[in-house]
Amino acid sequence: QFHMIKHEDLIWKESLGQGSFTQIYRGGKVDRQDGETHTTDVLLKVLDVEHKNSWESFFEAASFMSQISHTHLLMVYGVSVHKSKNIMVQEFVKYGALDLYLKRSSVSLSWKLDVAKQLACTLNFLEEKNIVHGNICAKNLLLARGGDPNSENSENSPFIKLSDPGISMAMLGKEVVLDRIPWVAPEVLEKLELGQQCDKWSFGTTLWEIFNGGEIPLQRLDPKQKQRFYDQRSQLPCLEWAELADLISQCMQYQAELRPSSRSIIRHLNGLITPDYEVLHASGSVPE
Ligand code: ATP
Ligand code: MG
């Protein structure tokens, strides 16, 4: 179920790179109403032609996003088909992907905690609806508002939107899925099938990314070594902030049914008090 958008109503602007089997562009969508035209900024995701047999899965991701609505879920306007081109048309989010943002700007622990709470809220929404996203990671969190890392005012806090999950694991193939270690839950690798608890694991990995400044976990491992990482039931390096490290390791438990409920994740996050060493970390790195 999705809205079809006419190809001639799309405006194409610069390329923003590529994703899993996709090319990404910034663009516009022309809306006509009562003789007036209006253009909305959009993001255009084009499925690679070599993978056009994945179109059903690609459009399923679009449909998934169109059917649910939440403040922290990205809006998908619809899809467009032109000749052999399959395009997903979605909301353009100003500050782009969170992993890249964290790499180029220094933000406080309370800023990061805000982002974590917003994601936990989204996780809770999905859990209540019995929906599994399947591709939660910092790259798929888009930043709609950067906020002021030094302000306590909520108007100045960051605002994230969770992007679409993209092509399903079953279509991506083993190689790409291995590359998704340590985001993909270990049990998913065996069946290439999403279970109710797999988003919790990915949430844990995403927390790790957020609190490590957008660093890519296990970046230097090749697919074989990544597989071994899971086979040996390894864990990511522990964060300095013990209470947060504890939450991450609860989420990243190999035994899926032991992972906490999203309500208990929210409770854990709300109970955290940013430790004093934040001051040490922030000073000197934040410009006046
Ligand atoms: P995957 O299914 O693996 O997530 P993808 O096709 O969604 O793949 P990404 O790698 O998630 O592609 O996105 C590529 C880049 O495009 C991101 O790093 C981000 O900078 C940018 N981007 C993606 N979606 C948006 C959006 N809605 N608004 C602004 N920028 C975006
Ligand atoms: Mg994405």
Distance CA 191, CA 158 (A): 36
Mean pLDDT for all residues in the chain = 92
Token output for 161: 């939107």
Is the predicted pLDDT of residue 285 greater than 90, yes or no? no
| Contact in structure between 89 and 7 (CB atoms under 8 Å) | no
Give the number of the ligand closest to the Cα of residue 183.
1
Token pair 């992972």: residue:
259
Q: Name the residue type at position 51.
A: H
Task: Give pLDDT tens digits for 209-267.
Answer: 999 999 999 999 999 999 999 999 999 999 999 999 999 999 999 999 999 999 999 99
Q: Which ligand is nearest to the CA of 43?
A: 1
- Is the distance from CB of 95 to CB of 208 less than 8 angstroms? no
> CA-CA distances (angstroms) from residue 47 to 59, 80, 161, 195?
10, 11, 22, 26
- For residue 248, the Cα-to-chain-centroid distance in whole angstroms is 17
25 C-alpha to center of ligand 1: Å?
A: 9
Q: 253, 257, 268, 263: which is closest to 123 by C-alpha?
A: 263
Half-sphere exposure of 284 (CA within 13 A, CB side): 4
C-alpha of residue 137 to centroid of ligand 2, in Å: 9
Q: What is the pLDDT of residue 90?
A: 98
Residue to substitute in 13, 14, 16, 176 for testing ligand 1 pocket (most ligand atoms within 8 angstroms of CB): 16
Q: Is the pLDDT of residue 279 over 70?
A: no
How many whole angstroms separate alpha carbon 22 and alpha carbon 129? Answer: 28
pTM of the complete model: 0.93
- Are residues 117 and 270 in contact, defined by beta-carbon separation less than 8 angstroms? yes
Ligand index nearest the alpha carbon of residue 161: 1
Model confidence band, residue 156 (pLDDT cutoffs 50, 70, 90): confident
**Under 8 Å between Cβ of 193 and 204:** no
Q: Is the distance from CB of 116 to CB of 66 less than 8 angstroms?
A: no
Pocket test for ligand 1, best of 54, 163, 167, 183 (most atoms within 8 A of CB): 163
- Distance (Å, rounded) from C-alpha 105 to C-alpha 134? 28
- State the closest ligand 1 atom to the C-alpha of 161, by its place in the atom list counted from 1: 27
Using a 6 Å cutoff on CB, does residue 92 contact ligand 1?
yes
- Span 203-224, pLDDT tens digits: 999 999 999 999 999 999 999 9
Shortest CA distance to 167 belongs to which of 257, 49, 60? 60
Q: What is the pLDDT of residue 286?
A: 42
Q: How far apart are CA 211 and CA 241, in angstroms?
A: 9
* 278 Cβ contact partners less than 8 Å away, ≥ 6 residues apart: 108, 109, 110
Give the integer Cα–Cα distance in Å for 236 and 218.
Answer: 8
Residue 76 Cβ < 6 Å to ligand 1: no
CA distance 75 to 67: 10
Ligand 1 site-directed mutation target among 139, 168, 179, most atoms within 8 Å of CB? 139
At 20 the pLDDT is 92
Find out whether the beta carbon of 96 lies less than 6 Å from any atom of ligand 1: yes
Residue type, 247: L
Query: 243 vs 278, which has greater pLDDT?
Result: 243
Pick the residue whose CA is nearest to atom 31 on ligand 1.
96
Produce one character per residue of 47-59: b if its CB has 16 or more CB atoms within 10 Å, e if not: beeebeebbebbb
Omega within 30 of 0 (cis) for the link into 158: no
Count of Cβ atoms closer than 10 Å to residue 277 Cβ: 11
Residue 73 has pLDDT above 90, yes or no: yes
